[in-house]
Amino acid sequence: MDAMNLHLMLPEIYLVLLGLVILIADLYLAPEKRFNLGWWTAGGLSVLAVWLFATPTPETVEFAGFGLYRADGFALFMKKVFALTGILVAVMSTGYLKRYGRGPGEFFSLVIFALTGMFMVASVNDFMSLFVSLELVTLCLFILAAYRRHDKLSGEAGIKYIIVGAMAAGLMLFGMAFIYGATGEVRFTYMGADGQLVLLSQTVANLESGWQMTALFGFTVLLVGLGFKVAAVPFHVWVPDVYQGAPTPVTAFLSVGSKAAGFILIIRVITLVVPTIAPGADLALVDQLVKLFALIAGLTLFYGNLAAIPQKNLKRLMGFSSIGHAGYLLLGIVAVLAMKAAGEETMNGVSAIAFYLFAYVFTNMAMFIGMVIFTQGSEDSHAIDDYAGLGKRAPLLALCMTIALLSLAGVPPLAGFFGKFYLISSIVEAARLDGYGWLLVLAAAGAVNVVISMYYYLCVVKRMYMLEPTSDEPIHLPPPAKIAMVACIVLVVVIGIFQGPFVQMATGVLATLGF
């Protein structure tokens, strides 16, 4: 444990170097060639993705960076998700930036640095790295959200995002300080005095009740801070404005990357720091968290989906829908917590979240690539009415966006369907535990929201197919973006039909979740 083990961190090192190469190459390239940096980025990230997918899932947890970095199955899985996200963001940004016409070097290097942060987030094993890496992610995203600096919306999005983001950082820091105060330790796993590996959750479990109370307060505040990052109600206020104002590729990046990073951290904190309590013991600590999260999950589901209904702007609608999806992912968290409260270590919730995120990447990215293609001019507005008659103007684009929307709504045989199925299944499993029968209400909420979300997604589909187009201008589909979009859609269908290998990938992360 007490070694740097640099070889485990090669993906991150590779990413930093890639970012630096892009940054420096930008200086030496002719201005008109600079936009090719997007292809450099996509290429570099593709190499990384292939590398990650070729890496076998580790059987045991390996530590690097003096025990501050853990290389385990969950981290590897999430890094795959991030690498794919990065590639797709790079592909859709290239055309977008060409139209916008400025700053490709900085843009792509920031995307890569944000990815570096996400990679670190996936592997953190202590609160310090957690804080610093998460801030690296959000800092890059602040800048990217405000990147269209001559656009009022973008600036507004940047300011709103940074205020909320910094507030969340403050809350997280405050919470971590209290957990540190209770335990005297910021590492999730560390060598105890007797040379044994200790899990921070064991330390918390062994504390006296006053300190446990302190730790519980710390968890709550920390998780509230993370709630901002994943856009859980009532910490969602920034989402619609930031989603609408940020450049569309950045919105896509936010909706997948930032959310996944937040959920990774919640899972890490829950599995490594929140104690598992043996049956019969005093449940107070974790039980409170179950109730808190169940409430938040229910509110998030209903708020996100209900507020999406009256939206007139597609980006804003996607923002609210992403709140709804955060609600679904929180169902998995509740399931994990309830299992923990009952003293069981089965973590179907985690693999459900992992699967859902994996499916969500392709679905959401296909949708956003479609939106980037749709805006032909340099302006970046997305009134839903503009999409009227898209089925006639650009059949392929409309088909892909429809499939993406239906997958988001959870319709078979698409990836989103199985994701929701898996999550609701995990919460029903938790509801079977003694004393947690009320979780069925949450499962019902998840089910009801399938119907609500179906409504507003279908409203968009309706405009595309059932209304007449408002303009006859043909829509040109640039080949790279088109290929990326179609590839995503094919994957959405493939994952939806042949879930087996992907579920196996998602359950594979469970083995190394602990030590």
Closest to another protein by CB, 39 or 421: 421
Instruction: Tell me the Cα Rg of the chain.
Output: 22
**By CB under 8 A, residue 271 contacts another protein:** no
Q: How far is the CB of 180 from another protein (least distance, A)?
A: 6
The one among 11, 86, 158, 389 contacting another protein by CB under 8 A: 158
Q: In whole angstroms, what is the distance from residue 288 CA to residue 499 CA?
A: 35
**By CB under 8 A, residue 155 contacts another protein:** yes
The one among 44, 73, 95, 117 contacting another protein by CB under 8 A: 117
Binding mask 366-405 for another protein (x = CB under 8 A): ----------------------------------------
Q: In whole angstroms, what is the distance from residue 82 CA to residue 78 CA?
A: 6
**By CB under 8 A, residue 150 contacts another protein:** yes
**By CB under 8 A, residue 411 contacts another protein:** yes
**By CB under 8 A, residue 217 contacts another protein:** yes
Q: How far is the CB of 278 from another protein (least distance, A)?
A: 19
Closest to another protein by CB, 50 or 309: 309
**By CB under 8 A, residue 136 contacts another protein:** yes
Per CB under 8 A, contacts with another protein among 457-476 are 458, 461-462, 465-466
DSSP string, 424-472: HHHHHHHHTSTT-TTHHHHHHHHHHHHHHHHHHHHHHHHHHHHS--S--
Mapped onto helix, strand or coil, the DSSP state of residue 234 is: coil
The one among 1, 29, 167, 475 contacting another protein by CB under 8 A: 167
Per CB under 8 A, contacts with another protein among 179-208 are 180-182, 184-186, 208
Residue whose pair of structure tokens reads 């209900």 in the numeric block: 306
Q: Is the sign of the CA dihedral 177, 181, 183, 184 positive or negative?
A: positive
Q: In whole angstroms, what is the distance from residue 161 CA to residue 336 CA?
A: 30
Closest to another protein by CB, 50 or 62: 62
Q: In whole angstroms, what is the distance from residue 200 CA to residue 190 CA?
A: 8
| Main-chain dihedrals φ then ψ at residue 156, nearest 5 degrees | -60, -45
Give start and end residues of each alpha helix (H) in 246-345.
248-253, 259-268, 284-308, 314-341
The one among 84, 91, 162, 260 contacting another protein by CB under 8 A: 162
The one among 440, 475, 486, 490 contacting another protein by CB under 8 A: 440
**By CB under 8 A, residue 444 contacts another protein:** yes
Closest to another protein by CB, 208 or 379: 208
Closest to another protein by CB, 74 or 142: 142
The one among 1, 29, 153, 475 contacting another protein by CB under 8 A: 153
Name the residue among 262, 274, 326 with its Cα closest to residue 298.
326
DSSP letter assigned to residue 273: I
Which residue pairs from 497-503 have beta carbons closer than 8 angstroms and sit at least 24 positions apart in sequence? 497/413, 499/355, 499/418, 502/355, 502/358, 502/359, 503/351, 503/355, 503/418, 503/422
Binding mask 68-107 for another protein (x = CB under 8 A): xx--------------------------------xx--xx
The one among 3, 4, 24, 295 contacting another protein by CB under 8 A: 4
Q: How far is the CB of 81 from another protein (least distance, A)?
A: 19
b/e code 470-483 from CB counts within 10 Å (16+ = b): eeeeeeebeebbbe
Closest to another protein by CB, 158 or 227: 158
Q: How far is the CB of 331 from another protein (least distance, A)?
A: 12
Q: Candidates 77-85, 140-148, 267-275, 323-331 — which segment interacts with another protein by CB under 8 A?
A: 140-148
Q: In whole angstroms, what is the distance from residue 162 CA to residue 242 CA?
A: 10
| Main-chain dihedrals φ then ψ at residue 150, nearest 5 degrees | -95, 5
Bridge-based pairing of strands 69-71 and 189-191 is: unpaired
DSSP string, 132-201: HHHHHHHHHHHHHHT--TT-HHHHHHHHHHHHHHHHHHHHHHHHHHHHHHHHS--BSEEE-TTS-EEEHH
Binding mask 221-250 for another protein (x = CB under 8 A): -------------------xx--xx-----
Q: Candidates 194-202, 250-258, 277-285, 425-433 — which segment interacts with another protein by CB under 8 A?
A: 425-433
Total residues binding another protein (CB under 8 A): 106
Contact 325, 304 (CB under 8 A): yes
Q: How far is the CB of 217 from another protein (least distance, A)?
A: 4
**By CB under 8 A, residue 147 contacts another protein:** yes
**By CB under 8 A, residue 447 contacts another protein:** yes
Q: How far is the CB of 460 from another protein (least distance, A)?
A: 12
Task: For residue 224, give the H/E element and its range.
Answer: helix 209-230
Strand partners, 189: 199
Per CB under 8 A, contacts with another protein among 300-339 are 307, 311, 316
Q: In whole angstroms, what is the distance from residue 270 CA to residue 219 CA?
A: 9
Q: How far is the CB of 152 from another protein (least distance, A)?
A: 5
Q: How far is the CB of 126 from another protein (least distance, A)?
A: 8
Q: Candidates 91-99, 260-268, 452-460, 474-482 — which segment interacts with another protein by CB under 8 A?
A: 452-460
